[in-house]
Amino acid sequence: MEVSSTLGEFAAVIFDFDGTLADSHAAMVRSYLTWADEFGLDPASLVSFTGMPSAAIAAALLPADQVERASARIDELEVADTDGVVPLPGAVDALAGVPDERRAIATSCTAPLLNARLDAVGLDRPAVVVTRDDVTNGKPDPESFLLAAERLGTDPERCVVFEDAPAGVAAARAAGMAVIGVLTAHTVDELQADWHVNSLADVEFEAIDDGVRITWRA
């Protein structure tokens, strides 16, 4: 039986940023280790919060009276450290292969952090960008993906999301979107997306009349 090389045709493509388009892992680890030390936290306690906004992590791990200061501090540390932040394989081609009116970034980064990392990696910035500053609830809440679809003028069920974190996959599913898991830091079993790729270099993007066709790279 011949197996189709096409994953699907979608009206729009929404990309997570860290771990999907850019490798910021080393910078992130440095920042969070410093932050954990400053606030007396065990760094191991941070592992289960991958992909969640800094404010949500602070709220989960610290007393309420420290959350605002702690959230601001981790943002400060991360914005200041972009050393070694680079595009992941396939990121440049992925953004180039999707027309601007059909692509978006939806990230747990604050706007200043995303701007700092986009400058560091030199990736093209889509017209539609949703950061943590644009929403009330961060991932795994679907709000960021739903807002991206709204700004693109596209029905959520016609969107596909590329995500590397369980919280992001959960958010995409809750938004009613197809999701392709990027195996940057988590396993297939941990992500449980509709499809999985090692990186964006595993797939190709082709603009079609009513959207974008995504196929496996030969």
The reply to whether 30 and 15 lie within a common domain is no
Number of domains in the chain: 2
Q: What angle do CA 33, 39, 43 make, to 5 degrees?
A: 35
Residue 204 near residue 92 (C-beta atoms within 8 A): no
Cα-trace Rg, the chain = 17
Of 16, 75, 81, 164, the catalytic one is 16
Q: How confident is the model at residue 4 (pLDDT cuts 50, 70, 90)?
A: low
Q: Is residue 1 part of a domain?
A: no
pLDDT in tens, 63-73: 999 999 999 99
CA-nearest of 1, 8, 2 to 203 is 8
The reply to whether 47 and 117 lie within a common domain is no
Q: How confident is the model at residue 2 (pLDDT cuts 50, 70, 90)?
A: very low
pLDDT in tens, 169-204: 999 999 999 999 999 989 999 999 999 999 999 999
CA-nearest of 141, 168, 173, 170 to 156 is 173
- SS3 at position 217: coil
Domain extent at residue 130:
6-23+85-216
- Residue 103 clears pLDDT 60, i.e. is over it: yes
Question: Is 18 one of the annotated active-site residues of the chain?
Answer: yes
- SS3 at position 123: coil
Residue 155's CATH number: 3.40.50.1000
Q: How confident is the model at residue 49 (pLDDT cuts 50, 70, 90)?
A: confident
The reply to whether 173 and 102 lie within a common domain is yes
